Amino acid sequence: QVQLVESGGGLVQPGGSLRLSCSVSGTIFSIHTMGWYRQAPGKQRELVARVTSGGGTNYADSVKGRFTISRDNAKKTVYLQMNSLKPEDTAVYYCNRDPSGIWYWGQGIQVTVSS
């Protein structure tokens, strides 16, 4: 069974940075396109960044130029570097395959951007 464990969240001031990590087990990690998703209170979960098996990346317009997704296939880990954080980035962040709906979701990690 695939397990996803997110880490690295927390409270940060506007303009600050955080780096999220997601450790994946129970699957051949390297062949999957991976995504970082987020869900803010009262909103639907949205895909904010994705990285293909070959390392190609795509970003939601709301985070383009501020967030960077990357992966380490040897460590079976996907990362999300978040810079210039804004209050509207506050959400629970999850990693999963893209498209989602095939694996269960992990517990997610809270990111709060507030002064």
Is the separation of the CB atoms in 55 and 4 below 8 Å? no
Q: What are phi and psi of 108, to 5 degrees?
A: 75, 170
Indicate whether 101 pLDDT > 90.
Answer: no
Q: What is the CA radius of gyration of the chain?
A: 13
Indicate whether 9 pLDDT > 90.
Answer: yes
Sheet holding 77-82, edge to edge: 3-7, 18-25, 77-82, 67-72
> Could you read off the pLDDT of 32-88 as tens digits, one per residue?
999 999 999 999 999 999 999 999 999 999 999 999 999 999 999 999 999 999 999
Of 111, 115, 114, which Cα lies nearest the Cα of 48? 111
